[in-house]
């Protein structure tokens, strides 16, 4: 090798024995190891937020640990692919939204007798004259005809309002009456205006 050219091996040797370079190298290694362990902890917490299973978070962090500080990024990609799509909070939020949608639908109730569509705040069914609600004389709110007292203000009703079943009896529809009273007999708390 000609004298004029510097020896590449010597340059490299000088470079890696430089204390500054060695310190930087150590810091990088420490940083990568911390990143690796931190990612394992992140996977643990992330799986905790996505699954109620107590074991799965350990599996998630073990996956990251298993791939070593050099390759753990591949484990992160793998984890992102296989983890549950929704977090538990998102699932809860979605079920709340579905419930409120359902409640919205249930507002459009059916008349228990003639199955005609009635509104939740109607007093009687305009089609078959079945009593759906009564007005509380104390607070003027709508009460279920079967309630012995007002749910809003506690006012005791003198006597229960005519039940839809009795109305049907008056109107002499024997088959439907039997079916309806069986329903009400099985569930005394059943609201007359709700779907059986």
**Interface with Zn ion (CB under 5 A):** 111, 113-114, 116, 125, 127-128, 130, 136, 138-139, 150, 152-153, 155
Minimum Å gap between C-beta 43 and Zn ion is 55
Residue 75 or 143 with smaller CB distance to Zn ion: 143
What burial class does residue 139 get, using C-beta atoms within 10 Å of its C-beta: 0-12 exposed, 13-18 middle, 19+ buried?
middle
| Nearest CB to Zn ion, comparing residues 75 and 113 | 113
CB of 56 to Zn ion, least distance (A): 51
**Two tokens, residue 115:** 């199955």
Cβ 148 to Zn ion, closest distance in Å? 12
Measured CA to CA, the distance from residue 112 to residue 118 in angstroms comes to: 10
Encoded tokens for 30? 């420490």
**Residue tagged 């004298």 (tokens):** 3
Q: Give residues with Cβ within 8 angstroms of 118, minimum separation 6.
A: 109, 110, 111, 125, 126, 132, 193
Half-sphere exposure of 32 (CA within 13 A, CB side): 12
Q: Which is nearer to Zn ion, 22 or 140 (CB)?
A: 140
- Least distance from Zn ion to the Cβ atom of residue 114, Å: 3
- Shortest separation between residue 131's beta carbon and Zn ion, angstroms: 10
Q: What is the 3-state secondary structure (H, E, C) of 126-155?
A: CCCCCECCEECCCCCCEECCCCCECCCCCC
Of 61 and 130, nearer to Zn ion (C-beta) is 130
Between 101 and 153, CB nearer to Zn ion: 153
CA distances to 39, 126, 139, 163, 192 from 129, in Å: 67, 6, 24, 12, 13
> Minimum distance between the CB of residue 130 and Zn ion, rounded to whole angstroms?
5
**Of 56 and 139, CB closest to Zn ion:** 139
């Amino acid at each position: 090798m000609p004298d004029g050219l510097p020896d590449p091996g010597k340059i490299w040797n000088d470079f890696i024995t430089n204390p500054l370079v060695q310190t930087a190298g150590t810091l990088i290694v420490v940083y990568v190891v911390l990143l690796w362990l931190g990612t394992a902890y992140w996977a643990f917490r992330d799986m905790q937020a996505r699954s109620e299973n107590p074991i799965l978070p350990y599996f998630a962090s073990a996956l990251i640990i298993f791939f070593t500080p050099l390759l753990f990024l591949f484990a992160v990609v793998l984890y992102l692919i296989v983890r549950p799509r929704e977090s538990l909070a998102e699932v809860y939020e979605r079920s709340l939204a579905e419930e409120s949608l359902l409640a919205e639908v249930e507002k459009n109730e059916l008349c228990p007798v003639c199955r005609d569509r009635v509104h939740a705040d109607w007093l009687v069914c305009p089609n078959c004259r079945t009593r759906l609600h009564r007005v509380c004389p104390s607070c003027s709110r709508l009460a279920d005809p079967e309630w012995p007292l007002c749910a809003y203000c506690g006012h005791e009703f003198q006597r229960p309002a005519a039940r839809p079943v009795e109305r049907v009896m008056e109107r002499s529809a024997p088959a439907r009456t039997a079916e309806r009273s069986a329903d009400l007999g099985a569930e005394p708390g059943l609201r007359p205006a709700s779907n059986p």
